[in-house]
Amino acid sequence: MPVALDRRTRRDADLRHVDVETFVVADFPSLAARNGAVVARGIEVLNAPSLAVEVSDQAWSFTRAGDTLTASPGIADGAVVVTFSAEEFSDWVQNQRSFNSMLTARNLRYRGGSERDISVWDSLWLSLLEGWPVVDDALAFHDRHGDPLALDRVFTPDDDPADIAHFLREAGYLHLRGWTDPADMRRISDDIDRVLPNYREGDGRSWWATLADGTRRCVRLQEFVEHSPTTAAILRGDRWDRLRRVIAADDDLVQGPVQGRCIEALIKPVGVVAGPSDVSFHRDCHLGRHAYRCSSTVVGISVTESSEANGQLRVIAGSHRILMPVEVAKTEPYLPVVAVPTVPGDLTVHLSCTLHESTPPRLHERRVMYAGFGLAARRRPRRRRPRAGRTPRARHRHTA
């Protein structure tokens, strides 16, 4: 059964402060009963150590015991140990932040293990919270009729919308052709050249990278739609709205106003040695909050061609169904890695929880734009009374 786009199970309105003892006593037993088996299987297959958490003067270890996960006081032998503040722990056990988020912010404190161990436990912990398996030996890819799915398929507007929607939910990505006019891409590339001098490093609306010769290049232009009538026309066009409806199928996807940062223009120069240009395998939800906002759909518009020579999108098929750790994906992926070469005007779509990467160009600069569609907002639920020992968090008042 393909995965539904709306995977939200948590709301910001329900956030509260969760201390480690209350979590272990009140929350962990039911989580282990529901999801302990899939976590234990992941620990076994990925050869993961136990995880120990330290919060103030308390320490608890989470360890595989047969086909489930157990919690015990103290630090287990051979465990990777993570030290939290009380606030960090509360955020972590509610999927507000992940280990990867803390690594990126350079405030994750751990010992006794490797970055791979941390990445594996990032996935195992989300598996415990959400039941999303880390491994599944029976995973397969099928079309709507039960036949094997061709993972390199390219869809046109003439294809059956049900096949397109099914493929996205089954594989986690799409490659589309014929949904935009290639001639528009030449005009958009000219718009990029024309507006580039208006961006300055540190302006808050552009990203910059360093090339091998030491020069600094602008690699991401935000608020680009304000400078490109052709781009604005695409996002306001009937074909774009049809795409949204085809992708949505039975889910409710929305597009924000065509203004501001609704789309970004990216330049991928050859020879980047530092800066946010090409990013190895990651999920767009790998900093946390998967359970609050996934899955949005990210749509790439190929302004220039993409290929092995000038860089391209690569996705890991099915990684929105199997919670492969990011560090494992980089070195030893156990799901199909699919390159998506494009011609000008092609579109790519990936889900926010599909592992994907951008490979660096070797011969020619690449240009691409990214926009997308998000899940419709949910109605605010009736506020629940906090459970004993927990207090609401005043800084989270909005609905996911």
Q: 235 in a domain, yes or no?
A: yes
Query: Is 361 in the same domain as 297?
Result: yes
Q: 324 in a domain, yes or no?
A: yes
CATH number at residue 216: 2.60.120.620
Tell me which residue of 345, 371, 352 sits closest to 259, measured CA to CA.
Answer: 371
Cβ(305)–Cβ(365) under 8 Å? no
> Helical H runs in 98-160?
99-104, 115-130
Cβ(45)–Cβ(78) under 8 Å? no
For tokens 């039941």, what's the residue?
131
Rounded Cα–Cα distance for residues 13 and 356 (Å): 31
Q: 384 in a domain, yes or no?
A: no
The pLDDT value recorded for residue 339 is 98
Tell me which residue of 382, 381, 332 sits closest to 355, measured CA to CA.
Answer: 332
pLDDT digits (tens, 9 = 90+) for 64-105: 999 999 999 999 999 999 999 999 999 999 999 999 999 989
Task: Name 298's bridge partners.
Answer: 350, 372
The pLDDT value recorded for residue 97 is 96
SS3 assignment, position 323? coil
Q: Which two tokens stand for residue 130?
A: 């959400």
The pLDDT value recorded for residue 277 is 87
Cβ(200)–Cβ(206) under 8 Å? yes
Query: Is 209 in the same domain as 101?
Result: no
Tell me which residue of 53, 69, 64 sits closest to 21, measured CA to CA.
Answer: 53
Q: 397 in a domain, yes or no?
A: no
The DSSP code sequence of 253-282 is EE---SSTTS-EEEEE-TTEEESSSS--SB
Tell me which residue of 203, 126, 171 sits closest to 3, measured CA to CA.
Answer: 171
Query: Is 282 in the same domain as 166?
Result: yes
Query: Is 177 in the same domain as 109?
Result: no
Looking at 84, 107, 130, the residue that finishes a domain is 130
The pLDDT value recorded for residue 365 is 95
Please count the structural domains in the chain: 2
- The residues near 9 (Cβ < 8 Å, ≥ 6 apart) are 130, 291
Determine whether 200 is exposed, middle or buried from the number of CB atoms within 10 Å of its CB (0-12, 13-18, 19+). exposed
The pLDDT value recorded for residue 379 is 66
Query: Is 197 in the same domain as 301?
Result: yes
Query: Is 69 in the same domain as 209?
Result: no
Rounded Cα–Cα distance for residues 356 and 360 (Å): 13
Q: 153 in a domain, yes or no?
A: no
Q: 198 in a domain, yes or no?
A: yes
- The residues near 57 (Cβ < 8 Å, ≥ 6 apart) are none
Domain of residue 89, residue span? 15-130
Walk along the chain (400 residues) in steps of 10 and give the mean pLDDT of each run: 90 95 96 98 97 97 98 98 97 96 94 97 98 94 96 98 97 98 98 97 96 96 97 98 96 94 97 91 95 96 96 98 97 97 98 97 96 87 41 33
Query: Is 102 in the same domain as 174?
Result: no
Query: Is 76 in the same domain as 119?
Result: yes
Looking at 115, 130, 145, the residue that finishes a domain is 130
Q: Which two tokens stand for residue 309?
A: 């020579």
Query: Is 111 in the same domain as 171?
Result: no
- The residues near 132 (Cβ < 8 Å, ≥ 6 apart) are 38, 126, 323
The pLDDT value recorded for residue 385 is 39
Rounded Cα–Cα distance for residues 127 and 130 (Å): 5
Cβ(95)–Cβ(122) under 8 Å? no
Query: Is 245 in the same domain as 319?
Result: yes
Q: How far is CA 287 from the centre of its chain?
A: 8
Query: Is 123 in the same domain as 166?
Result: no
The pLDDT value recorded for residue 3 is 86
Tell me how far CA of residue 141 lies from CA of 144, 246, 390, in angstroms: 10, 20, 43
- The residues near 230 (Cβ < 8 Å, ≥ 6 apart) are 184, 187, 188, 191
Q: 226 in a domain, yes or no?
A: yes
Rounded Cα–Cα distance for residues 6 and 297 (Å): 11
Looking at 110, 130, 150, the residue that finishes a domain is 130
pLDDT digits (tens, 9 = 90+) for 194-250: 999 999 999 999 999 999 999 999 999 999 999 999 999 999 999 999 999 999 998
Query: Is 72 in the same domain as 206?
Result: no
Q: 251 in a domain, yes or no?
A: yes
Tell me which residue of 314, 315, 309 sits closest to 361, measured CA to CA.
Answer: 309
In residues, how long is the chain?
A: 400
For the chain, report the end-to-end CA distance as a whole number of angstroms.
26
pTM of the model: 0.92
Task: For residue 226, give the DSSP letter.
Answer: G
CATH number at residue 91: 3.30.1050.10
Task: Count CB atoms within 10 A of the CB of residue 164.
Answer: 20
Torsion (CA) 375, 376, 380, 386 in degrees, nearest 10: 0
